[in-house]
Structure 1
């Protein structure tokens, strides 16, 4: 696995994952020294949002259908707003946003390129799945960073405006058996790549058995949320 993050050892923290729209008790997992420092957390969170915007913008240019352009533009606009809000937070509390994001550009660009499909619907599904899973993961990490984390939770907790993309995907899946099979296989590949990104956000690069036991409930919850997204699309997780 590629080592994507500086090896700093932050103070003990709590990682909390809450399902979208669920205001009940959130699962809490003590990650101690496994969470990254705040600059790493903010830098990657900001650059991920920029990547979603870039991928969606590419789709807007590629599609001739006006309704699809509108659906994509809504989601792209929301991703860009979230990026700018996190960038403003970096400037306020950490330092120069470009310097904070720069260490993650190469690796996250590679991840984004690897999850761009050969067809527009595959790339739409890529954004829907990867952004959903990683937003959930960074919402979980946010509880580790006090007031800064609470602000990130507010930003990432905003509506993603991907509902119209979900409807486009669902219409394709319902009407085209071949595309349903292709998208189902593509989704399974995306999950592995996305979990690697989430796993690489934790320190150290290799976890001991006790640490693996700590992180397992969070990744189990991520997969449960992913399964719900897949069910909503009419695909098996």
Structure 2
């Protein structure tokens, strides 16, 4: 994927490609999953703000939460451009996303930060990989929704400062990061198995590229490598 894709101007309401129904169903599924993920991210960041040690940290998290919810409207508009109701499109993903968050509820401020950075980062990387198989307008919209911006800088700064103050924190958070990786992959596999259209999107078709087993393996290798990089940026062992 070229860097220019992330910088392109997206028009969520522009006409959709005149392709097969399976592709349209897959894209609606994907956008529904991302949109509900953004709503969930908003809720979690707002909840994590209650654990913030300072008023400044509380405000920063609240600001990040508002950024997540702002991404939902363009995704909904794109779903409508495909002739579907966005709330119906999001509904199948509510249970698996909430189940993931139920299994990975942070116990303190630092676990919440690592989850926001590592867990969301893994999901973002996965969606960027899938974006390569989308029509240009939808691809650019997905990539723009994956931008981390100040969020990443904020989390890295706070976690590294915490570890510097208490080195024992690093070991606990490293274990937490590994758990997040395992839970996220489990939920991703579950969603892919339950949603045939998404699986078909990755497999490709007569008129569009897809992933064979070897390519799929390489994709998950890249996801693992990026997870390792993120853990390193936080000062944690992968």
| Structure ranking higher in strand proportion | 1
What SS does structure 2 have at the residue aligned with 1:236?
Answer: coil
Q: TM-score, normalised by structure 2?
A: 0.77
1:189 aligns with 2:190: no
**1:100 alignment counterpart:** 89
Partner of 1:198: 188
Deviations 1:169-226 (A, max 9, x none): 1111222122111101111100011122333343568xxxx95423111111111111
Q: In the alignment, does 2:155 pair up with 1:165?
A: yes
Task: Kindly report which structure 2 residues correspond to 1:11-50, keeping only aligned pairs within 5 A, or say none.
Answer: 37-50=26-39
Please tell me whether residue 225 in structure 1 is matched to residue 226 in structure 2. yes
User: What residue number does 1:28 align with?
Assistant: none
Q: 2:202 corresponds to which residue? A: none
SS of the counterpart of 2:42? helix
Return the structure number with greater helix share: 2
Instruction: Please tell me whether the aligned partners of residues 79 and 160 of structure 1 are also in contact (alpha carbons under 8 angstroms).
Output: no
Q: Check the 8 A contact 2:111/2:173 in 1, yes or no.
A: yes
What's 1:213 paired with?
Answer: 214
Which stretch shifts more, 133-142 or 36-45? 36-45
1:129: Cα distance to partner?
A: 0.5
Which runs of 5 or more structure 2 residues have no equivalent in the other structure? 7-21, 200-210
**Distance between the aligned counterparts of 2:33 and 2:223, measured in 1?**
18
Query: Retained in 1: the 8 A contact 2:96–2:191?
Result: no
Which shifted more, 91-100 or 120-129? 91-100
- Give the whole-Å Cα distance in 2 for the aligned partners of 1:100 and 1:67: 36
- SS of alignment partner, residue 37 of structure 1: helix
- The one of 163, 167, 178 equivalent to 2:168 is 178
Corresponding residue of 1:139: 128
Structure 1 counterpart SS, 2:125 = helix
8 A Cα contact 1:17 1:221, kept in partner: no
CA distance in 2 between partners of 1:160 and 1:134 (Å): 18
SS in structure 1 at match of 2:149: coil
CA distance, structure 1, for counterparts of residue 191 and residue 133 of structure 2: 13
What are the ranges of 5 or more consecutive residues in structure 1 without an aligned counterpart? 1-15, 22-32
* 3-state SS of 1:170 partner: helix
Cross-structure match for 1:234: 235
Aligned length: 207
